[in-house]
Amino acid sequence: MKRSFFRNNSILLGLVFLLAVVSLISLQLGSSFISFERMINILVGQGTKSDILIVTKLRLPRIILAINTGIALAVSGLLLQIVIKNPLASPSLFGVVDGAALGAIIFLVLFSSETGNLVFPVEWQPVAAFLGSLLAIFVVFWLTILDGRGLSRLILYGICFSALATALISLLMIIGPIHRASQAFLWLTGSVHAANWQKVVISSSALIITAPIMMLLSSSMKQLMLDEESAQATGLTVKTSLVLMVILATFLTAIAVSFAGAVGFVGLLAPHIARFFTPSHGLILLFITALTGALLVLGADFLGRIAFQPLQIPAGAITAFIGAPYFLFMLRFKNVFHRR
Amino acid sequence: MDTKKAPLTRYEKVNLSYGSTIVFEALNLTLNEGEITMFCGPNGCGKSTALKALRRLLKVRSGIIFHGANPIDDLSDKALAKLMSLLTQKPSAPDDLTVEQLIKMGRFAHLGYLGHFSKKDKEKVAEALSLCHLQNLVHETIGNLSGGQLQRVWLAMIIAQDSPTILLDEPTNHLDITHQIETLELIKKLNEKGRTIIVVMHDLNMAARYADRMILFKDGKVAADGTPEEVMQPSNIRNVFNIDCEIMRDNIYQKPMLIPYKLRPYNDSGNLNG
Amino acid sequence: MPHLTVLEGEDRFYFKLAFCSFFLIILMVASLHFGAEIYTPYEVWNAFWELETEASIIIQTLRVPRMVLAPVTGMALALSGLLLQTVSGNPLASPAFLGVNSGAAFFVLLAFSFFGFTSLWFLSLIAFAGALTAISLVFLLAFSFGASFQQSTLLLAGITLSSFLSSAITILLATNETTLEALLFWLSGSFANRDMSGLIIVVPVLFFSIIVTLIMKSSLDSLLMDDESAKALGLSIFKLRLFFIFLSALLASLAVVLAGPVAFIGLVAPHIAKNYAGLSHLRNIPFCLLFGAHLTLMADIATRILLSPSEAPLSAVLAFIGVPFLVFLLLSKKRGVVG
């Protein structure tokens, strides 16, 4: 028991350290390199105007938004995998992501004037996306309740909603002007390039509000490894915790995709990677999953920014391309994930 | 011996149903503290249902189940778990869980909000491990265990829950005779340490050997209730199971044993004659 | 275990068959009449014998191919869906959910944007390869989780692969606006301006598949049971499954060749057929084919009318029909439909 305690803590510390390093590097690197010295100057208020602008207005919010997005998606994926009891469950299967996409694209297409300008400022796009994801949550939950055969049916109605949303999206993209369609596609890929402090504040506060609930739910998460009757018999209020977990998961996904678009595969990958690091099924797993997710999105965004300069690859593209090899990996090491 | 007879659980006019099929109508039953009570009866007679309702895995349609002084509906899930543990018929957990991890799950109701294990929690887990002879398997994953070992692990989880009352739903099902005896001896040991035990059993002979009190259910009613000697009567068995039989005593424990002879004929409507 | 209605209602079977075939003919004729321009039967009749009039050009070169392509595609998809549902024991299995469409689209995009292939005929071949690759991957993945299929795993594997491929597609499209413009319409599936020459391959394969499935009807029926019972009956389940999966993938991929990615036919048609004609394959295969053809024809007519004079994407129209149907199916309390 002692050994696992140290092991868990060193992994946690290692991940935090890694996250700090990657953050720092991605703060420095980019179209212009900012040295340590200049960074310290900015910190003590001595930096040049352009340095301050680049760091505080462009890179810092982008980094924090990437971290927030990663945490939200990863935790959401973990919760959903536990609720559905299937290691392949991920936030994108519950209609929330496609709902957000639909909202964002309706905004882009409907509020474009003839000349191709937006009638509303683009800052309103996340609001539209959030409304879209709320609609998805509402419809999918309503159908699941109507169905009354348990939460695992969420996934089926999520698929239904996604199909309809995707159809509407393709219809709208064909009706709308072509440059809007390509803008919409960019959104669908998922990227944190349009980060600003407003988004950072909103997404951070959402995470801070939900964090205590997540931590309180962590021991229930562990207990849900058992079948529902046994879990109930050991004292867990199964229904309440399942419902709480799903609501939390969809809310987190909605927050993440509203600001960063449909960054795929983080919710699927992060919990699996985290399980590789720790035998824990509770609080430690939750923390490691969150950190892994943050690292994934931050790393993907950093790579996309640096690797193909001056071209910027959206973070979602990178995470998707990590997803593919992982898929093969799962094929190869199937026994790790095989559950009876 | 007076303490042994103190009533603990009381079903008062309990109606129970699965969907639209009614299992119990106005069930009245009192179970005593410190006894091993065995629920027996044919398939579908409602014995598991009665057990699950007591542990509140099924909501009663009407009526009240008291446990101790309170109706069970007044208690929170955790408070109830501290009073009663239940081993279900087919418990399941991921194969990659270790024995220790699984047994620790039994402590859920006692843990704080963040799931931290206190010294007492660890002691109870260690106690359960040694009681079930699992010390050598602590770090084994449960996917690698045999059926008998697995059943001991689940029992250990229930024991770690450290509740004064233990409910077991067919704990010897699918076990060979060695493991059946092993399990029932363990149950007896727990009873001697002061736990109240309620078991759903199919095997009448095993039930008669270990029970302080046997209850036979039929069609949602109590058909016979009393000591094994009182319940194991040819007339009761014929009434409940529709077989002719002979009751004997074993040489060592002097407990009743049933030797079944043959099935009584079916009546015109396809039901067994009762 | 759902019960098989093999011998009941012999007469009504033929009556129903005749009725549905007749309805197919009506729809095919209707498909000649409706579109951006609506013609009277008289005008249509004349258009066949005239040359160089507007009506004759529209009907002979545009509508006749669609009248043929739509039902063939529909039949192929419907049969493919039926086979998948039977083989996987999953009532939600359908070619689109198992990655056929996104696989095809992904390969076509790759060929188009990196290698500059533009010949429609060649792109069709590429699409076929993509579809087959994707569906094999999905089944491989699902198999790898255990010897027999776990229902939700198959579905999740398909959807996860699809979502990976779609994000790859999205990236390809987002980075290249000209590709987007050229392929956006192909990607949503349509019968407009399609090549009839694909039929040379598709029709014989479809015909062959129908014959084979009808001959092997009793094997298919037994696959509805659980694995062990079917094995006990003496079936080599694994080989049978592999064969039918291949056949199904082949049919779905060929449908992609004809019409691009089309969803929902493979899901909806088999269900209507099973409700209409029972679970015995001898009986529901003919209806499955017919309903597939009906649905596709109706959807094709709708694409022409809905946004007239421009065309609505076929997959969108089908989603508007298919999703409510799917929801209805999921909500229906009937045991054994979607457990």
Evaluate if residue B3 carries a pLDDT over 50.
Answer: no
- pLDDT-derived band at C117 (thresholds 50, 70, 90) equals low
| Cβ contact, residue pair B108, A223, below 8 Å | yes
What is the band of A4 on the pLDDT scale with cuts at 50, 70, 90?
Answer: low
Q: Examine the pLDDT at A73 and tell me if it is beyond 90.
A: yes
pLDDT at A264 over 50: yes
In this prediction, residue B215 has a pLDDT band, given cuts at 50, 70 and 90, of very high
Q: What is the mean pLDDT of chain C?
A: 80
| Chain B partners within 8 Å of A281 (Cβ) | 97, 101
How close A200 gets to chain C, by Cα (Å)?
Answer: 25
Average pLDDT over residues A91-116: 81
**Token duo for residue C29:** 């004729």
With touching defined as 3 or more inter-chain CB pairs under 8 Å, the answer for chains C and B is: no
* Residue A176 pLDDT exceeds 80: no
Residues 6+ positions from B122 with CB-CB distance below 8 Å: A1
Taking alpha carbons only, the member of A170, A116, A174, A162 closest to residue A137 is A162
Contacts of C181 in chain A (CB under 8 A): 178
Instruction: Report the SS3 class of residue B40.
Output: strand
What is the CA angle B117-B119-B122, rounded to 5? 65
Cα C252 to Cα C75, C178, C296, C306, distances in angstroms: 10, 28, 14, 26
Tokens matching residue C45? 């009749």
Chains in touch with C (3+ beta-carbon pairs under 8 Å) read A
Across the interface, which of A171, A178, A268 has its CB nearest the CB of C177?
A178
A149-163 pLDDT, tens digit per residue, is 777 788 888 888 988
H or E stretch covering B85: strand B84-87
Q: Which of A43-57, A112-126, B80-94, C19-33 has the lowest mean pLDDT?
A: A112-126
User: Exposed, middle or buried: residue B62 (CB in 10 Å: 0-12, 13-18, 19+)?
Assistant: exposed
pLDDT at B164 over 90: yes
Token pair 């099902």 is found at B173
Which helix (H) or strand (E) covers residue B70, if one does?
Answer: strand B70-71
Q: Give the whole-angstrom CA distance, residue C25 versus residue B143.
A: 59
**Contacts of residue B128 in chain A, CB cutoff 8 Å?**
none
For position B38, what pLDDT does the model report?
94
Residues C71 and C298 sit within 8 Å (Cβ to Cβ): no
| Residue A89 region by backbone torsions, left for phi larger than 0, else alpha for psi between -120 and 50, else beta | beta
| DSSP assignment of C94-147 | -TTTTTHHHHHHHHHHHHHHHH----HHHHHHHHHHHHHHHHHHHHHHHHHT-S
Chain C interface mutation, best of A73, A80, A88, highest count of C Cβ atoms under 10 Å: A88
**What value does the mean pLDDT take over residues A255-278?**
86
Task: Please choose, from the candidates A237, A239, A339, the residue with its C-alpha nearest in 3D space to the C-alpha of residue A281.
Answer: A339
ipTM confidence score:
0.85
**Neighbouring residues of C278: CB distance < 8 A, sequence distance ≥ 6:** C4, C5, C6, C8, C284
pLDDT number for residue C169: 80
pLDDT the model gives residue C10 = 56
Contact call for B101 and A339, based on CB within 8 A: no
Crossing angle for the helix pair C151-174 and A315-332, to the nearest 10 degrees: 150
* Tens-place pLDDT, residues C91-100: 778 888 788 8
Q: Which residue has the higher pLDDT, B123 or A305?
A: B123
**Tens digits of per-residue pLDDT, A280-329?**
888 889 999 999 999 999 999 998 888 877 777 788 888 877 776 676 66
Q: Is the pLDDT of residue A173 over 70?
A: yes
The distance in angstroms from the start CA to the end CA of chain B is 37
The verdict on a CB contact (< 8 Å) between C170 and A338 is no
Tell me whether B48 touches chain A (CB under 8 Å): no
| pLDDT above 90: residue C285 | yes
Cβ atoms within 10 A of the Cβ of B76, count?
A: 11
pLDDT of residue C335: 43
Q: What is the pLDDT of residue C337?
A: 42
Q: Residue B139: is its pLDDT beyond 80?
A: yes
Q: Which residues 176-235 in chain A show a CB within 8 A of chain C?
A: 178-179, 181-182, 185-186, 188-189
Domains of chain A: residue spans and CATH: 2-338 (1.10.3470.10)
> Taking all residues of chain B, what is their mean pLDDT, rounded to a whole number?
88
Q: Which residues contact B192 (CB under 8 A, 6 or more apart)?
A: none
- Phi, psi dihedral angles at A102 (to 5 degrees): -60, -45
- More confident of the two residues A123 and C108: C108
Contact at CB, A264 and C164, closer than 8 angstroms: yes
**What is the DSSP annotation of B207-254?**
HHHH-SEEEEEETTEEEEEE-HHHH--HHHHHHHH-EEEEEEE-TTT-
Query: pLDDT for B220-274, tens place per residue?
Result: 889 999 999 999 999 999 889 888 888 999 889 889 999 988 887 766 555 554 4
Region C74-88 average pLDDT? 91
User: Among A334-338, B17-21, C297-301, whose mean pLDDT is lowest?
Assistant: A334-338
Could you give the maximum distance between any two Cα atoms of chain C, in Å? 66
Whether the CB of B50 is below 8 Å from some CB of chain A: the reply is no
CA distance B156 to B187: 11
Residue A205 has pLDDT above 90, yes or no: yes
In this structure, are residues B187 and B210 in contact, taking their beta carbons and an 8 Å threshold? yes
Q: What percent of chain C has pLDDT over 90?
A: 17
Helix (H, G, I), strand (E, B) or coil at B12: strand
Q: Which residues pair with A185 in a beta bridge?
A: none
- pTM of the model as a whole: 0.83
- Chain centre to alpha carbon of residue C77: 2
Q: What are phi and psi of C38, to 5 degrees?
A: -105, 125
> Which tens digits make up the pLDDT trace of C140-186?
777 766 544 555 677 777 877 887 887 778 777 766 666 666 676 66
Across B100-115, b (16+ Cβ under 10 Å) vs e yields: bbbbbbbbbbbbeeeb
**pLDDT of the residue at C120:** 67
CA distances C158 to A147, B35, C137, Å, are 24, 54, 9
Distance to chain B for A292, nearest Cα, Å: 21
Give the pLDDT of residue C145.
Answer: 61
Name all domains of chain C by residue range, CATH numbers in brackets: 73-335 (1.10.3470.10)
Taking Cα atoms as reference points, which of C267, C272, C229, C276 lies closest to residue C248?
A: C267
Residues A298, A300, A303, A305: is their CA dihedral positive or negative?
negative
Percent of chain A at pLDDT exceeding 70: 91
pLDDT of residue A335: 43
- Give the minimum alpha-carbon distance from B81 to chain A in angstroms, rounded to a whole number: 5
DSSP-derived secondary structure letter, A59: I
Q: What is the pLDDT of residue C339?
A: 37
How many angstroms separate the CA atoms of B50 and B16, rounded?
8
Mean pLDDT of C196-225: 87
The minimal CB distance from B55 to the residues A222, A225, A233 is found for A233
